[in-house]
Structure 1
Amino acid sequence: MNKPAPARMFKPLSVYIGLRYTRAQRRNSFISFIALTSALGTALGVAALITVLSVMNGFEAEIKERILGMTAHASISGLDGELRDWPSLEAPLRQEPKVLGWAPYIEAQTLLNSDTQVSGITLRGILPDYEPRVSEAASRLIEGRLDALRAGGFGIILGEELAKHLGAKLGDKIAVITPEVVATPAGVMPRLKRFTVVGIFRVGMYEYDRNLALIHLDDAARLLRMDDTVSGLRLKLDDVLYARQIARDLGPKLPQQYLITDWTRAHANFFRAIQSQKEMMFIILFLIVAVAAFNIVSTLVMTVTDKRADIAILRTQGMTPGTVMGTFMVLGTVIGFAGTLLGGIGGVVLALNVETLLPAIERTFGLKFISAEVYYLSELPSKLVWADVCQVTGVAFLLSILATIYPAWQASRVAPAEELRYE
């Protein structure tokens, strides 16, 4: 009975020889070194790209969370910019399952005047009982309480940076100056009212910590002479990613025509800028991966030069040019796959542990990469997105394959007679 052929005989010849070449580099250690550096270069590029994208995703998620903690997911106002009889909208809003909460507000641009400083700010009138339904204002307070805002009490809550600028502390008096003017015996004077600082909040976003102050809705109505009207209703939705669609679907369900806006319009330019930065960072760092991948070209060129005699012998034994080309493509693909796999694993590990590793590096070397005073972050956020991992590793591996084509084609063009003439 005939013995079965060894298992290796069933492998495609180009794969078998290509895999043999990855292990048979003892005659030329320099080529082995170049192959190793090509794989490590690809690994470092892939790991760096995955880690940086994860950190940028973390920054975006952190900023979005802080913005949406103080900004309404959507808002309803009248066509003239004011909303009358807002309680009449509560019934239809209760019947909408995608609307989790609502709160009335009055908003205006005013001036704050302390004993030493003046600052233009956004003044927002709120109802303390309703506000926790739509924002995290209560949880962002570092001094005072939200329910310290009482109708007729003329209390005011300042952002942390705004309070520092004005030199204001709890219990201090702050004058709120509106754009309206009143006629007095002394002439035309701006309307102003003195408020008592009853709280200070910190969001971690300069836009709010420096430019926002909160007062009671009734006090805002009296100060701005809005009587029974408000600027609008702020809404909290069950899915912020579909805020635009939910806001669009909500319009026909309301008793009359209103102006409905969502957070994506108010902050569209900001998040578009973040996305553009992420795309540019991807391109810049991907060049590192491209350079490392194309190092495979030099590795294969030197390997082909070293193996020209072997190629000629194999050609005389019947190996086709296509098989020769496939052999060296397998060799380059193995190098690229090893680098991509190692980089992918390393990038995922770094991205998942960057919040732990960075403080350890800072303590060891006495450095400070993230300053809370500048970035409002005490630690580096990271959010691993598996779609990014698949995209980075997939494109890196594809580049590795493309880098093998030219050297492999050159190997397939080796003329056996020319190479063996002097052997």
Structure 2
Amino acid sequence: MNVPFLIAWRYFRSKKKRNIISIISNISMIGVAVGTMALIIVLSVFNGLEDLVRSLYGKSDPDLKITAVQGKSFPVDAFLVNRLKAVPGVQLVTEVIEDNALLRYHERQMVVKLKGVSENYYQQSEIDSAIVDGSHELRRNGEDFALIGAGVQHELSIALENRFAPLQLLYPRNTPGKKTLSMNPETAFNQEPILAGGVFSIEQHVDDSYIFVPLDFAQRLLRYDNRRTALEVKVREGRSLDDTKSELKQVLGPQFNVLDSDEQHVSLLKAIKVEKMFVFITFAFILLIASLNIFFSLSMLVIDKRKDVAILMAMGATPNIIRRVFLMEGAIVAQVGAAVGLALGISICWLQQRFGLVSMGMATSVVNSYPVKMQASDVLWVGVAIVLITIAVSIRPALNAPQIDLRENL
């Protein structure tokens, strides 16, 4: 029989009188419950945002992306492509040329991210499902077309398939032996016209900067010849992504990076994780402050129960048993509050997932309501934080509890 727990539970359930100690204990439980609920909700929102980022970029991201360790581009030939295709997990290899370019339309211009892709690009990308106007095809009837982001179209007021005013794409001309750019625009830039054939909407960062064009168009404009900035790989269905990634690394050697979807956006996902960590630390401190009421209520309880402590010690209770009684009392107050907070937090997250109670409040948002995703690891970390906080605020009153004069209190 756990005597310290039984005594602590009796103190917790005692309804003998409604004094200041019980009021402070109730405030402590409410504070812990609110802090725990807030932690669960905020951490779940960050999980939801992380998943939202993955789903948004997943429409245009390849399963695996091959880039050079050093330099912006690398030579690609049929032999290299065939070696990659020979890897059992590889279904498709798309050649990519990606670089910044100047886009001019009528009298307006802006710097865009130009991405030239080979003809099999749409066999592995879902970007065609993000088309909001026009067609996703980059080549029709032997003519090149550009697929532009919704933000780019809005910025330059681009009309689709305007043959009287096609898009003009310019790229600095690299003249051997010259380190400075010519002041004459006709000699300083390579220039190619192209019609806008379609508009896509994926995510604001992509929509505001990207233009997709056929590979040979990008090759002509950027003068890349047989060089590519990346090779995008689609993994066969049923094959392990990690195994295919390892096999590609063995084939390519240390001169190449093989990046999965998370590694392609490592800085963005890392920023979300860092923000989540700092939010957890901040809310844990708030929870600690809310739990200080436990310290005050226990300190007052120790004073109030001096007679009980003296009687227990006279009956043979050791100082360790007395300390455990008050530690248990603090733990019960904290854990009851935490249990209520967890129940409320999980319930609110479930309601948000199910019914989308809280909207993003933006007409242009890609989702109507705040995304949330509950993870068992978050509940575990919140539990660990509460245990540590409970020990921190309860240990001092518990240590003071056995330090009484028996003669004065019997």
Deviations 1:253-300 (A, max 9, x none): 25x886334256653333322222111111101112212333211111
How far residue 59 of structure 1 moved from its aligned partner, in angstroms, is 0.8
- Please tell me whether the aligned partners of residues 87 and 247 of structure 2 are also in contact (alpha carbons under 8 angstroms): no
Question: Residues of 2 paired with 1:408 and 1:227: CA distance?
Answer: 77
- TM (norm. structure 2) is 0.85
SS in 2 for 1:154: strand
Question: Residues of 1 paired with 2:236 and 2:23: CA distance?
Answer: 56
Q: Give the structure 1 partner of residue 135 of structure 2.
A: 145
Question: Residues of 2 paired with 1:97 and 1:385: CA distance?
Answer: 34
What amino acid maps onto 2:172 in structure 1? P
Q: Give the structure 2 partner of residue 343 of structure 1.
A: 341
* Structure 2: runs of 5 or more not aligned: 176-181
How far residue 167 of structure 1 moved from its aligned partner, in angstroms, is 0.6
- Please tell me whether the aligned partners of residues 33 and 338 of structure 2 are also in contact (alpha carbons under 8 angstroms): yes
Aligned pairs for 1:228-247 within 5 A = 230-237=228-235, 247=245
Question: Residues of 1 paired with 2:25 and 2:69: CA distance?
Answer: 68
Question: Residues of 2 paired with 1:155 and 1:282: CA distance?
Answer: 48
Counterpart of 2:54 (choices 61, 64, 72) is 64
How far residue 222 of structure 1 moved from its aligned partner, in angstroms, is 3.1
Counterpart of 2:282 (choices 281, 284, 290) is 284
Residue 331 (1) aligns with residue 329 (2): yes
Name which of structure 1's ranges 303-312 and 54-63 shifts more when overlaid on structure 2.
303-312
Question: Residues of 2 paired with 1:54 and 1:174: CA distance?
Answer: 44
Residue correspondences, number: 395
How far residue 376 of structure 1 moved from its aligned partner, in angstroms, is 4.8
What amino acid maps onto 2:219 in structure 1? A
How far residue 393 of structure 1 moved from its aligned partner, in angstroms, is 1.4
Q: Give the structure 2 partner of residue 164 of structure 1.
A: 154
- Please tell me whether the aligned partners of residues 351 and 357 of structure 2 are also in contact (alpha carbons under 8 angstroms): no
- TM (norm. structure 1) is 0.83
Q: Give the structure 1 partner of residue 179 of structure 2.
A: none
Question: Residues of 2 paired with 1:230 and 1:410: CA distance?
Answer: 72
Counterpart of 1:218 (choices 198, 216, 219) is 216
How far residue 175 of structure 1 moved from its aligned partner, in angstroms, is 1.1
How far residue 315 of structure 1 moved from its aligned partner, in angstroms, is 2.8
Name which of structure 1's ranges 308-317 and 112-121 shifts more when overlaid on structure 2.
308-317
Q: Give the structure 2 partner of residue 108 of structure 1.
A: 99
Q: Give the structure 2 partner of residue 397 of structure 1.
A: 387
Q: Give the structure 2 partner of residue 260 of structure 1.
A: 257
- Please tell me whether the aligned partners of residues 101 and 237 of structure 1 are also in contact (alpha carbons under 8 angstroms): yes
* Structure 1: runs of 5 or more not aligned: 1-10, 363-368
Aligned pairs for 1:292-371 within 5 A = 292-355=290-353, 360=357, 369-371=360-362
How far residue 151 of structure 1 moved from its aligned partner, in angstroms, is 7.6
Q: 1:48 to 1:99 in 2, by over 3 A?
A: farther
How far residue 112 of structure 1 moved from its aligned partner, in angstroms, is 0.7
Residue 193 (1) aligns with residue 192 (2): yes
Large movers: runs of 4+ above 6 Å? 242-245
What amino acid maps onto 2:256 in structure 1? L
- Please tell me whether the aligned partners of residues 74 and 247 of structure 1 are also in contact (alpha carbons under 8 angstroms): no
How far residue 36 of structure 1 moved from its aligned partner, in angstroms, is 1.5
Q: 1:379 to 1:148 in 2, by over 3 A?
A: same
Question: Residues of 1 paired with 2:185 and 2:7: CA distance?
Answer: 100
Q: Give the structure 2 partner of residue 41 of structure 1.
A: 31
Aligned pairs for 1:264-275 within 5 A = 267-275=265-273
Question: Residues of 2 paired with 1:156 and 1:361: CA distance?
Answer: 38
How far residue 336 of structure 1 moved from its aligned partner, in angstroms, is 1.4
Question: Residues of 2 paired with 1:404 and 1:232: CA distance?
Answer: 58
Residue 180 (1) aligns with residue 173 (2): yes
Question: Residues of 2 paired with 1:246 and 1:189: CA distance?
Answer: 43
- Please tell me whether the aligned partners of residues 85 and 93 of structure 2 are also in contact (alpha carbons under 8 angstroms): no
Deviations 1:307-364 (A, max 9, x none): 222222333333332222222222221111111212222222222332456x5456xx
Question: Residues of 2 paired with 1:376 and 1:124: CA distance?
Answer: 23
Q: Give the structure 2 partner of residue 119 of structure 1.
A: 110
Q: 1:125 to 1:338 in 2, by over 3 A?
A: same
- Please tell me whether the aligned partners of residues 332 and 404 of structure 1 are also in contact (alpha carbons under 8 angstroms): yes
Question: Residues of 2 paired with 1:407 and 1:238: CA distance?
Answer: 63
Q: 1:101 to 1:13 in 2, by over 3 A?
A: same
Name which of structure 1's ranges 71-80 and 397-406 shifts more when overlaid on structure 2.
71-80
Deviations 1:358-385 (A, max 9, x none): x5456xxxxxx54254x65432111211
What amino acid maps onto 2:299 in structure 1? V
Question: Residues of 2 paired with 1:302 and 1:186: CA distance?
Answer: 82
Name which of structure 1's ranges 75-84 and 190-199 shifts more when overlaid on structure 2.
75-84
How far residue 398 of structure 1 moved from its aligned partner, in angstroms, is 3.2
Q: Give the structure 2 partner of residue 386 of structure 1.
A: 376
Q: Give the structure 1 partner of residue 202 of structure 2.
A: 203
What amino acid maps onto 1:74 in structure 2? K
Cα-Cα RMSD:
3.1
Q: 1:233 to 1:331 in 2, by over 3 A?
A: same
What amino acid maps onto 1:188 in structure 2? T
Counterpart of 1:55 (choices 45, 55, 62) is 45
Percent identity at matched positions? Answer: 25
Question: Residues of 1 paired with 2:9 and 2:291: CA distance?
Answer: 19
Q: 1:261 to 1:28 in 2, by over 3 A?
A: same
